[in-house]
Structure 1
Amino acid sequence: MNIAGKKKIIILLTLGIILFVLHSTPHMALRTHVFIMGYPKAALTSEIVDDVYHNKADEQKFAEMNAKAYTLTKPPVEKATQGILSNFLVKRIWFFFTAEYYGDA
C-alpha cells in the first residue's frame, strides 16, 4: 500500500473515532448538535437536565423510539424568530446517539 492510501485510512479512522466520541453519550450528542446548529456558547456552557414533562407525557412513544427528552438550562435564542431552543430529543441507535430539536410544545 502506498503512502496516499495509508493517509486516507488514517484520516477515515480518525474521523470515525471523533464521530464516535461526539455521539457516544446523550449529552455529548446534544452538545454536538447545538454546536453544529450555530450556538457554540450554549453548547459548551449550558447544563443539560432531563425534560421531565415530555418524558412522562410521551413515555410510550419515546420507549418505542429508544429516545429521551432533555432540556438546556441556558438555551440559545434562535436569531430569526427569537424563539428559545430549550428542548431536544436524543435517540439511541445501537451504541450511537443522535439529537434533534424537539420544540417547546
Structure 2
Amino acid sequence: MFIGTVIVLFVSLHLTPNLALRTHVLMMGHPQAAISSSIVDDYFHNRVDKEKLAEENAKCYSLSSPPVEKSTQGFLKNYIVKKKGFLYFADYYGDA
C-alpha cells in the first residue's frame, strides 16, 4: 500500500513540465519559490540551444522569482525539463 502511494505521488508530480519543475525546486530546498514563482518559457536558451534540446526532447523554462543559491548568492533562474516517456524531469540549466 505504501509503495503504491509513493509511486502514484511520484508519477503525479512529473506529469507536466510545470509540476516537474516545481517539484525539482522544492526538492532543492526552496519551497517558497516552488509555490509562488511563475514559470515562463526561456526564449533565449530555447533558441540558442535548439538542436541540443530537440535531441534530448527538452525545453527550457525560467522562474519569475527564482531562489537564491546560498553559497554563491546567485539566482537559480533557468531550468531544463526533459520528457522521458510520459513523465517530465527538471534540472537546473544555468545562466549562460
Post-superposition CA distance 1:53-101 (Å, at most 9, x none) = 0001111110000000000000000011101000000000000111000
Q: Secondary structure of 2:66's partner?
A: coil
| Residue correspondences, number | 96
Query: Which residue of structure 2 lines up, in the alignment, with residue 74 of structure 1?
Result: 65
Q: Which has the higher helix share?
A: 1
Q: Which runs of 5+ in 1 are unaligned?
A: 1-9
Query: Which residue of structure 1 lines up, in the alignment, with residue 18 of structure 2?
Result: 27
Query: Which residue of structure 1 lines up, in the alignment, with residue 9 of structure 2?
Result: 18
How large is the Cα RMSD of the aligned pairs? 0.4
In the aligned structure 2, how far is the partner of 1:34 from the partner of 1:80?
17
In the aligned structure 2, how far is the partner of 1:15 from the partner of 1:95?
18
Q: Which runs of 5+ in 2 are unaligned?
A: none
Which one of the candidate residues 40, 56, 60 is aligned to 1:49?
40
How far the C-alpha of 1:12 sits from its partner, in A, is 1.0
Query: Which residue of structure 1 lines up, in the alignment, with residue 30 of structure 2?
Result: 39
- Tell me which stretches of 4 or more aligned residues in structure 1 moved more than 4 Å: none
Which one of the candidate residues 81, 85, 92 is aligned to 1:90?
81
In the aligned structure 1, how far is the partner of 2:2 from the partner of 2:55?
36
Larger Rg over CA atoms: 1
In the aligned structure 2, how far is the partner of 1:46 from the partner of 1:20?
22
* TM-score, length of structure 2 as denominator length: 0.99
